[in-house]
């Protein structure tokens, strides 16, 4: 190819940035246009990682370095399916990598799941993180008891966020509305429900340990749940040690309680107009460690249910989808001619941020091997001018990287007085105004 390879990456979370990094470091380096439907980059690092985990968010510094490399363009506020279509991308680029993550939640498939007061984890997480599409949801946290279904790290994030005090929330970049709602809520108890035992829990030990360090909540673990637990790996072994320690604690009378309930599955969410309770069934484990329901049920009164049983990818028009896995149908990241994928939309919603580096690099290596083997012909229309022209024709209000750095600077400045990393703009209008104000100055 007598010009740089031109690649569109759809999505600007960790998988998108690690893919961009690998492409820009290739020999010869490729050119990357990163398309993002929001005016802001970093995906779940900005809008998923819990606000009281600022260290995890510092990975964005590595992404900033990638964004500064020659050949990189950020095209924010550009939605694939609205401003550009899959058919445009395969015409205007040599290759496309979808790194759009898993944007929705897995369903429980039980009666009452959609009652007001029963929320998917995705929406609550997006709300407290200031995602501009989720600020109109009225989370009424003034109930006595909330139930979180699932024992993964997202479930722990939600339980912990609900338990934080105003002092713990104040130095974070959680939205002001969520800080107020959580700190002033009448919530007394948060029950975290696992369908299997403590040895099968998906959460990791540092996240579990944090539950025992909350200023405003005592943690309760039933020692009976730990009897006979057989850890299969080091994480489970460490989790069990922490759970033993938590089970042995005397409560200190803190204002809230976080209660772990293992071996229970929800069978129905109850209530007429809104959530009033949840029916749980007791499970035992079969020889393959699968949960099998007994005939022992109980009803737990509660005003809120958060369903945190895993995320799920959303189908993109024109791109083959594997409905069973909830991912783009792919083989090691290759989807079809010119089309690739990386991250959660490729492998499903598993692993930590760093897992996406290996995952995205594998996809890029496959893409580059296709180029080297002559399986990916240069596209005659692949120019940045052609992309810009089409976006202008469609009336897109593109936020370039300078627009994002303007948003970033304004948010950080707003955070400084309160000793917070930033105060996020939580509406589209504010985000676009901030991007355009300083970008045009």
Determine, following the binding rule CB under 6 A, whether residue 151 of this chain makes contact with ligand NAP: yes
Q: What is the four-CA torsion angle of 166, 169, 173, 179, rounded to 10 degrees? A: -50
Residue 230 main-chain phi, psi, to 5 deg: -115, 105
CA distance to 66, 122, 162, 277, per residue, from 145 (Å): 45, 20, 11, 9
Contact pattern from residue 277 through residue 316 relative to ligand NAP, giving x for each residue in contact according to CB under 6 A and a dash for the rest: -------------------------------xxxx-----
Do 397 and 432 contact (CB within 8 A), yes or no? yes
**Token pair for 53:** 């985990």
- Comparing CB distances to ligand NAP, the nearer of 108 and 240 is 108
- Comparing CB distances to ligand NAP, the nearer of 350 and 384 is 350
| Least separation in angstroms between CB 207 and ligand NAP | 5
Determine, following the binding rule CB under 6 A, whether residue 351 of this chain makes contact with ligand NAP: yes
| Least separation in angstroms between CB 229 and ligand NAP | 14
Residue nearest to ligand NAP (CB): 152
- Comparing CB distances to ligand NAP, the nearer of 108 and 435 is 108
Do 382 and 94 contact (CB within 8 A), yes or no? yes
**Upstream peptide bond of 17 is cis (omega within 30 degrees of 0):** no
| Least separation in angstroms between CB 47 and ligand NAP | 12
CB atoms within 10 A of CB 86: 17
| Least separation in angstroms between CB 115 and ligand NAP | 17
| Least separation in angstroms between CB 203 and ligand NAP | 7
Q: Which residues pair with 265 in a beta bridge?
A: 281
| Residues in 241-270 at the binding interface with ligand NAP, rule: CB under 6 A | 265
Applying CB under 6 A, the span of 147-155, 274-282, 297-305, 412-420 interacting with ligand NAP comes to 147-155
The DSSP-derived string for 172-228 is S-S-HHHHHHHHT----EEEEE-SS-GGG--S-HHHHHHHTT-SSEEEEE-HHHHTT
| Least separation in angstroms between CB 147 and ligand NAP | 11
| Residues in 159-218 at the binding interface with ligand NAP, rule: CB under 6 A | 194-196, 200, 202, 207
**Token pair for 419:** 């000793």
| Residues in 381-440 at the binding interface with ligand NAP, rule: CB under 6 A | none
Separation between Cα atoms, residue 206 and residue 133, nearest integer Å: 31
Separation between Cα atoms, residue 291 and residue 89, nearest integer Å: 44
Determine, following the binding rule CB under 6 A, whether residue 153 of this chain makes contact with ligand NAP: yes
Separation between Cα atoms, residue 337 and residue 39, nearest integer Å: 29
Determine, following the binding rule CB under 6 A, whether residue 149 of this chain makes contact with ligand NAP: yes
Determine, following the binding rule CB under 6 A, whether residue 118 of this chain makes contact with ligand NAP: no
Q: Which of 137, 215, 224, 352 binds ligand NAP (CB under 6 A)?
A: 352
Q: Footprint of ligand NAP on this chain (CB under 6 A)? A: 108, 149-155, 157, 194-196, 200, 202, 207, 265, 308-311, 349-352
């Amino acid at each position: 190819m007598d010009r740089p390879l031109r690649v569109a990456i759809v999505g600007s979370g960790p998988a998108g940035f690690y893919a961009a990094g690998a492409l820009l470091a290739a020999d010869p380096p490729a050119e990357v246009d990163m398309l993002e439907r929001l005016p802001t980059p970093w995906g779940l690092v900005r809008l998923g990682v819990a606000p009281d985990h600022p260290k995890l968010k510092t990975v964005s510094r590595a992404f900033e370095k990638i964004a500064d490399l020659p050949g990189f363009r950020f095209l924010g506020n550009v939605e694939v399916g609205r401003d550009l279509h899959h058919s445009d991308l395969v015409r205007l680029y040599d290759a496309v990598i979808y790194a759009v993550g898993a944007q929705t939640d897995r369903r429980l498939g039980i009666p009452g799941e959609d009652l007001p007061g029963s929320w998917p984890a995705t929406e609550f997480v997006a709300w407290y993180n200031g995602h501009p599409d989720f600020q109109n949801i009225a989370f009424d946290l003034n109930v006595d008891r909330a139930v979180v279904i699932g024992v993964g790290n997202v479930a722990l994030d939600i339980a912990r966020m609900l338990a934080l005090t105003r002092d713990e929330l104040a130095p974070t970049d959680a939205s002001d509305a969520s800080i107020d709602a959580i700190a002033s809520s009448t919530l007394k108890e948060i029950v975290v429900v696992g369908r299997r035992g403590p040895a099968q829990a998906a959460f990791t030990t540092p996240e579990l340990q944090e539950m025992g360090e909350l200023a405003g909540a005592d943690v309760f673990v039933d020692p009976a749940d730990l009897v006979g637990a057989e850890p299969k790996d080091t994480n489970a072994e460490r989790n069990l040690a922490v759970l033993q320690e938590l089970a042995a604690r005397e409560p200190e009378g803190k204002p809230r309680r976080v209660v772990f309930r293992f071996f229970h599955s929800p069978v129905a969410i109850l209530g007429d107009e809104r959530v009033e309770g949840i029916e749980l069934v007791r499970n035992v484990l079969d020889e393959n460690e699968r949960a099998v329901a007994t005939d022992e049920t109980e009803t737990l009164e509660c005003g809120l249910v958060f369903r945190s049983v895993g995320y799920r990818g959303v189908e993109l028009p024109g791109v083959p989808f594997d409905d069973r896995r909830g991912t783009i149908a792919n083989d090691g990241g290759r989807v079809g001619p010119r089309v690739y994928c990386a991250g959660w939309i490729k492998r499903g919603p598993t692993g930590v941020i760093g897992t996406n580096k290996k995952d995205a690099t594998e996809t890029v290596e496959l893409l580059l091997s296709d180029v080297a083997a002559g399986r990916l012909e240069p596209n005659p229309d692949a120019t940045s001018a052609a992309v810009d022209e089409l976006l202008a024709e469609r009336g897109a209000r593109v936020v370039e990287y300078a627009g994002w750095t303007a948003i970033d600077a304004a948010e950080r400045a707003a955070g400084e007085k309160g000793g917070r990393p930033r105060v996020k703009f939580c509406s589209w209008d504010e985000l676009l105004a901030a991007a355009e104000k300083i970008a045009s100055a």
